[in-house]
Each structure stands twice: as structure tokens, then as C-alpha cells.
Amino acid sequence: MSSTLQKRIDDQPSISQEMVSEAQGILHRHLKRVGLKHTEQRDTILRTFLETHEHLSTDELHRLVKKKDSRIGFTTVYRTLKLLAECGLASEVAFHDGIARYEHQYNRRSHHHMVCTECGSSVEFFSPEVDHLEQEIGRKHHYETTRHTFQIYGVCEDCRRRNPSRRLV
């Protein structure tokens, strides 16, 4: 995990077994819809993912999963993350380093990111105005919206302090 990426803001500091079971149900129903089998490896990946409070790359999640089951390969983790995103349990977040990272969306309020283009640090924030805008745009275009991503890029205070000659336009 890159030391510049901050941990996520979560409404709940830990996830209960009941919540894990509910998330597994969401995944299992999605797997059935798309004609795939429920496997213990996918459940292990989901549990590991839900237990983290970080923005994880596929490599980072794979390292965590291998500690629980060394037989789970990178491709299985990669494909399972895509399935989690398809059913709304995960979303992809792009920071300045070009590495796709994922965060779990199970039982979380909608939130947004501000990312420093110099050091890569990030801040999560809540914005009812952005959430309202999503709904408004959905209604205008006759969509029932389910989620959105919103990221603001800029230069953080620490980077501006380190380079005072840098001017924001």
C-alpha cells in the first residue's frame, strides 16, 4: 500500500459476520444471474476485501488473500474484484499513479475523493449537493441512478508549502 494514500472514511469501523453474510448473499445472487458458480475462494476474497479500510490495488488484495489461502491466484482475485464492482460491492478509484484501486461499497454512504496530483495523497469527503446532482441528472435523462464517482484533482497544502513558487491557477 502506498504510504501517501490515506485510509478510507467508514461509517462503521468494523464489519460484523452478519454484514459479511449479507454481502455474500449479494455476490451469490449476482453470480447466479451471470451464470457463474459460488466458490469458497470468491468468499475468501470478498471477506478479505470487506475487512480492509484502504483503497486496494489487485496486487495488494492478492497479497492479503494469499495469507488466508495460498492457492488463490492473481487472476481469481482480479476477476472477483470485477464481479464485486458489477454487483455494487466495490468501486474502482483512480488516483494519480495510474494504478486501479478498489474500495468496498457495502453499507457505505456515498462519498467522494480529492487527490493531490503531486504526492498522491487523498481525502474522502461527503457532499449532499453532489448526491442531489446525481439524482437530478438521473431524473432528467430518465435513469434510476445507483451510484457515481466524483474526484477532484489538485495540489494539497503540504505540497504547496514544500514548493511555494507553485501557483494555482
Tell me which CATH code domain 10-107 carries.
1.10.10.10
Asked if 82 and 27 count as a contact pair (C-beta separation under 8 A), the reply is no
Average pLDDT over the chain reads 81
Question: CA-CA distances (angstroms) from residue 134 to 59, 83, 113, 164?
Answer: 32, 24, 16, 37
Same fold? 10-107, 109-169: no
In the chain, where are the structural domains located? Answer: 10-107, 109-169
Tell me which CATH code domain 109-169 carries.
3.30.1490.190
The amino acid occupying position 154 is: G
Which pTM value belongs to this model? Answer: 0.65
Residues 15 and 17: their CA atoms lie apart, in Å, by 7
Closest residue by Cα to residue 45 from 23, 60, 22, 65: 65
pLDDT digits (tens, 9 = 90+) for 47-82: 999 888 778 899 999 999 999 999 999 999 999 999
Residues 117-130, mean pLDDT to the nearest whole number: 79
Q: Does residue 87 or residue 42 have the better pLDDT?
A: 42
